[in-house]
Structure 1
Amino acid sequence: MAVKWTDGHSSSILCLNINKEGLVASGAERGELTIWDGKGIPVGQLQLCKADDVTSVVFSPTCPTRLYTSHGETISLLDVRSLKEPTECFQVNEEEISCLSVNETDNFLAAADDSGTIKIIDLENKKVSRSLRHSNICSSVVFRPQRPQSLLSCGLDMQVMLWNLQKARPLCTTNLQDCEMDEANPQTAGHFLNPPLAHSLSVASCGNIFGCGAQDGKVRIFRVTGVKFEHELGFKGHSLGVSQVLFMPEAYWLLTGGNDGKVLLWDVSSGVGKQQKSPAKSLQRKKAQAPTSTKKEGKPNKMVSNEHARILPKLTIEHGEKVNWISCTEIKGSKRVLVADQSSSISVYPLPEA
């Protein structure tokens, strides 16, 4: 049964993030922002613009008191020790921002918006350094761990893209419609009725494995190799759209949240092969052993279905409400998943040890 964190919001909570010290930030409709301690007690509250929802909150990885928030087309930088007026604001996006990501060196911030544009802000020089683009709403953008110049994005154009900040064009692109799971009878996939609009991305701590959740209820796992990425695994995760995917710090344990009101925990290590202790060495071995390929760059391999890989959830949480956001933290020495939904409270569930 969930523990409820209450009295922090009066509106539906849309996003969560946790810093290295265990502080939790939550953003909600009507500009509400709350900071919580590890016991679920609000320790700071601020109303940004009432006309705009707080759609994304991201703590700086190098300075745990620095918080980036998006509301409408604006990005506000806040000091959580004293929540008041923003210390800095960026207004570089033309439409509502859907997702923020900051790289691990805290010198670049990515802001994806409803026009499909991703603005890359150079935080040291306080200016836009790149403008990247999807053809529809860009729903998720995330920098890769250990690679501060590399990021991934996905959107309602069903595209997943790999970028390097030194280039304005994607290094590799995959359309999720090409990632057919039902190899025996692709016509049964129902993509015309329920297209795989991409909602969420998360990268494992190794930086090479990432997951994507889509509107068709499926979770797809990819592996990055150099300047390309290819399918490793795919499985039916939810009966409705997968709104959130989140790799836990332990490699290849994945949390997913769906519009069906479920939160699921998966161990995908058997599907992605042996864990890489040294991604660089693994890549060198692959290059040395790989046969010459005539396959077009960026075209995915056939996906392994969960029936063949036998991927089943390790834990099923019947949350009961459409999941807006999930996050993971440690409370009193045990792992917990935090779930934001259509309500004004945060639900906290215990997780098994990986």
Structure 2
Amino acid sequence: MPSGPHAILGIETSCDETAAAVVDGDRRILSNVVLSQLDDHRVYGGVVPEIAARAHLDHLDAIVARAMQEAGLGFADLAGVAATAGPGLIGGVLVGATLAKAIASAHGKPFLAVNHLEGHALTARLTDGIDFPYLLLLVSGGHCQLLLVQGVGRYRRLGTTIDDAVGEAFDKTAKLLGLGYPGGPAVERAAASGDASKVELPRPMVGKPGCDFSFSGLKTAVRRRVEEAGDGLDAGGIANIAAAFQKAVAASLVDRTRRAVDLLEAEGLAGRPLVVAGGVAANGTIRAALAALAQDRGMRFVAPPLVLCGDNGAMIAWAGQERLALGLIDGMDFRPRPRWPLDPDAAPSIGAGRVKA
């Protein structure tokens, strides 16, 4: 298989996927291998950091070897080695970054420390080749942000969650409804047969100033509906609550995103693309609602293929491509970090009831 110019190996181990991929400078994904740890964590109803780190240690060597084999390349053929260096569960991040440094050092290749969020943020450039700037809605289990993506390493946060991330709200709702883990796909499946009009749930932050998000109150409302139903909560009732929850989340995301669009239009940036990325971007109802908003505002709507919505090595390899092209190479002394905001100048969301930075 022809390798294309400047192939980069990308390694992702920030949470519960052990992933590696090879992407070339022509935006071709030569391999993309993801090993899910869902079975390891399902019994606990969520990710256990120690188990995740151990699984990365056990499997990462084989995942990298398979990615290189599928790409038809040896390490000497690479232009660089990229790895998620934060934010994430630090044990897993250390596993991936350490292996990437070892490969880069042994073969004399540049090491590229990638911000996991930047991997998601730049995926639309890998899949659709869009130009800067664009509006990004980043929605996942640990993050919910609206960002103006101005360039590689250049992000301006317009809004963030003041409590819980939207993916976390999906997981907690699924647990309350007995739908299992992971919550996002489980809630979406249940909602498909439900009637959202049968259950009244709040629309968090809708109509309020600014672009921030909040989902803790919505989770509480779901818990109350479940408690009110008691033993009478059958499959139909579960589906109705799931549908109402999903509709409320979509309404909140659209309202907050609309306000961000208003803000950018006031700054002379009308008509720039609207991108949604992260694991929750796989939800069909949310994608459709955001696509409708983009069409209404004359914006191109870009959402990654479902296989690239969750954590994966291809997005890390591509972010490495973008950084290498700008000469943004990192030393072997780069220290992985559990927290690493895309916009370091943004005010932390702490105080006045805000509990997450």
Common fold: TM-score over 0.5: no
Q: Report which of the two has the higher share of strand.
A: 1
Q: So what's the TM-score if we normalise by structure 2?
A: 0.29
Tell me which structure has the larger Cα radius of gyration.
2
Q: Which has the higher contact order (CA 8 A, sep 6+)?
A: 2
Q: Report which of the two has the higher share of helix.
A: 2
